[in-house]
Amino acid sequence: GAVVSQHPSRVICKSGTSVKIECRSLDFQATTMFWYRQFPKQSLMLMATSNEGSKATYEQGVEKDKFLINHASLTLSTLTVTSAHPEDSSFYICSAAAEEEQFFGPGTRLTVL
């Protein structure tokens, strides 16, 4: 099946810094990628839909100036958490759409001190 990678898998940063998370589709092209956030023992919360060559579509309540999404190519989308704070600590998961399925990355654990 199709493979999606995320980098880094784990990041610890200081409050106020920015963190970039990359999501890559390794063996297929994805015009649409999705970014999710998952709190411990909870379901996935869709944050935004990332479309190649156009602006991302954010879900209600998600601050687009805080969570910057760039989908520069058909195989890469990035999520930048700007001026991170401890409440941004979470597990961030991306997925890439291909035909009738979504393929998920392994997730990135962000801890903001």
Footprint of another protein (CB under 8 A): 1, 4, 6, 32, 34, 41-44, 46, 49, 93, 95, 97-107, 109
With H, G, I as helix, E, B as strand and everything else as coil, classify residue 85: coil
For another protein, the closer of residues 14 and 60 by Cβ is 60
What is the C-alpha separation between 9 and 21, in angstroms, rounded?
Answer: 9
Q: Which is nearer to another protein, 14 or 53 (CB)?
A: 53
- Euclidean distance between CA atoms 42 and 40, whole angstroms: 5
Dist CA 43 CA 33 (whole Å): 18
Instruction: Decide if 110 contacts 18 (C-beta within 8 A).
Output: no
> Closest separation between CB of residue 66 and another protein, Å?
21
Q: Measured from the CB of residue 97, what is the shortest distance to another protein in angstroms? A: 4
> Any idea what DSSP says for residue 107?
-
The least distance separating another protein from the CB of residue 105, rounded to whole angstroms, comes to 5
CB of 17 to another protein, least distance (A): 24
Take residue 50 and report the two structure tokens written for it.
């990332």
Between 13 and 44, whose beta carbon lies closer to another protein? 44
